[in-house]
C-alpha cells in the first residue's frame, strides 16, 4: 500500500553526489586553478567582439582580463552543456521540461512569459556575477573552498535573497497545493 503510488526519487543521493563533485573540483584545482562558470560568458563575448569589433574588445577592461573562447574557461562551460546533454539522454527518469510545473501553476502555460522571465533572470545573475567577480561556482564554491571571505559572504546573501524571492513569487502556490 505505502509503496504503490510512491514515486521513486530519480536523483542521486546528496552525499555520494557531493563526493563526486568535490572530486571533480579538486581535480580542477590541481590541473587548472579555481573553477568558474560566469567567466565563460565573458570569454564567449570576447570571441564575438574580437571578430566583429576588435577595437572595442581591446579597449574594455572586462574583456582584457579574460581569455577568448580558445581557453579553459570557455571549454569548461561548453563541456557543461555536453555533460548536461549526455546526462539528459542517459536518464529516463529525470524529467526534461521547458517550464517548471511550479511556474505553470503560478503563471499559467505561456511559454513567452516563462522565456521572458528567464531571459530577465539570466540577465540579473550574470550582471551580478560580473560585478562580484564570480557566480555560485566561481565565487561561492571556488571561493569558500579557498576559505575566501568573499565566497562565504556572497554565498550567504545569494541563498537568503533567492529564498526570499522564491517565497514572494511561489510561496502562496506552494502552501495551497502539493508541489512535488
| Binding to another protein, residues 132-161 (CB under 8 A) | 132-141, 143-154, 157-161
Q: Please give the Cα distance from 45 to 104 (Å, whole number).
A: 32
Assigned C-alpha cell, 61: 577592461
Shortest CB 14 distance to another protein, Å: 4
57 touches 88 (CB < 8 A): no
Shortest CB 36 distance to another protein, Å: 9
Which residue's C-alpha cell is 579597449?
59
Closest to 38 measured CA to CA, from 140, 116, 115: 140
80 lies in the site for another protein, by CB under 8 A: yes
- Tell me how many residues contact another protein (CB under 8 A): 132
Shortest CB 99 distance to another protein, Å: 6
Q: Which is nearer to another protein, 54 or 179 (CB)?
A: 179
Shortest CB 100 distance to another protein, Å: 4
Assigned C-alpha cell, 10: 530519480
158 touches 135 (CB < 8 A): no
Instruction: Determine the 3-state secondary structure of 110 from DSSP.
Output: coil
47 touches 69 (CB < 8 A): yes
Host H or E run for residue 60 = none
78 lies in the site for another protein, by CB under 8 A: yes
Among 102, 108, 109, 110, binds another protein (CB under 8 A): 102
All residues at 6 or more sequence positions from 162 whose CB lies less than 8 Å from its CB, including other chains = none
Among 47, 58, 96, 109, binds another protein (CB under 8 A): 96
62 lies in the site for another protein, by CB under 8 A: yes
Among 53, 94, 108, 110, binds another protein (CB under 8 A): 94
Shortest CB 86 distance to another protein, Å: 6
Q: Kindly identify the residues of this chain, within the stretch 4-33, that bind another protein according to CB under 8 A.
A: 4-7, 9, 11-15, 17-33
95 lies in the site for another protein, by CB under 8 A: yes
Amino acid at each position: 500500500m505505502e509503496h504503490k503510488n510512491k514515486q521513486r526519487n530519480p536523483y542521486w543521493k546528496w552525499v555520494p553526489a557531493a563526493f563526486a563533485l568535490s572530486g571533480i573540483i579538486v581535480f580542477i584545482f590541481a590541473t587548472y586553478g579555481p573553477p568558474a562558470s560566469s567567466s565563460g560568458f565573458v570569454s564567449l563575448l570576447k570571441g564575438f567582439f574580437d571578430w566583429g569589433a576588435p577595437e572595442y574588445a581591446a579597449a574594455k577592461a572586462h574583456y582584457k582580463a579574460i581569455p577568448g573562447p580558445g581557453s579553459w574557461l570557455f571549454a569548461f562551460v561548453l563541456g557543461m552543456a555536453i555533460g548536461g546533454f549526455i546526462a539528459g539522454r542517459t536518464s529516463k527518469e529525470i524529467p526534461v521540461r521547458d517550464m517548471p510545473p511550479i511556474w505553470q501553476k503560478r503563471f499559467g502555460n505561456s511559454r513567452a512569459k516563462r522565456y521572458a522571465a528567464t531571459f530577465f533572470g539570466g540577465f540579473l545573475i550574470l550582471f551580478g556575477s560580473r560585478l562580484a567577480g564570480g557566480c555560485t561556482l566561481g565565487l561561492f564554491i571556488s571561493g569558500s573552498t579557498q576559505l575566501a571571505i568573499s565566497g562565504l559572504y556572497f554565498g550567504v546573501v545569494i541563498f537568503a535573497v533567492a529564498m526570499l524571492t522564491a517565497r514572494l513569487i511561489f510561496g502562496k502556490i506552494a502552501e495551497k497545493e502539493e508541489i512535488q
